[in-house]
Chain A
């Protein structure tokens, strides 16, 4: 039974520099802050950071694994409030949770929470899906 307040199972995905490189190539976003540590530090970042849109794509995968595949998403939005910091040679977590906040004829609305190293990285993250 899916109703307001239903919680989805938590999932942890691990990101590393290789994933950032693969996302840069797949998305076309080659901004060096996502690949080059020296450059990232030079613009005041703590280290190389993940593309906000990579974080969002991974949260999207979490949603569609639950809702029944990539065709089920009607709306999906988020604010990038803190970066996912990806030091060389490390795997960093992206921990995702969701709660159902609305159920109606349009679909199911989810409130999404994504953290990395205990820090909330997305704000106002919501998706509307039609579950299959």
Chain B
């Protein structure tokens, strides 16, 4: 169960995630995108889900990642992610509820490049009963 006092709080994630051309290329190749001068629109899920896992499974927060399914996802893209960017990630637990034994967590990821907010994304994660 998620610790109730973590809801509404923002947690710092990694403060220097360097984006490489090879990871942009690999992501683009799967979907057949040939323009790799910038990252594909959903590329940053690679960062956000990894950061969510690191943050939300800490003992003081307590999410069980092993029974997780992804319920929904939304991105707002303010500027493009490119190779060489150094991104900082934070995660905010926006809401939490339990329905029929399933835990439903809404968490927002904010990716900054320096002072600039690059991408915000929202994930609903469901821990199955």
Taking Cβ atoms with an 8 Å cutoff, the residues of A that contact B are 19, 22-23, 25-29, 52-54, 56-58, 60-61, 63-64, 69-71, 73-80, 123-124
Contacts and interface: CB of A to CB of B under 8 A. Distances in A.
Contacts of B62: none
**Chain B interface secondary structure, helix, strand, loop or mixed?**
mixed
Contact of A70 (B33, B46, B69, B71): B33
Interface of B: 23, 26-33, 35, 38-42, 45-46, 49-50, 69-77, 80, 122
Contacts of A52: 70, 73
Contacts of A23: 30
Chain A interface helix/strand/loop/mixed: helix
Contact of A26 (B26, B38, B49): B26
A125 to B, nearest CB: 10
Contacts of A78: 72-74
Nearest to B25: A26
A54 B41 contact: no
B75 A75 contact: yes
B41 A26 contact: no
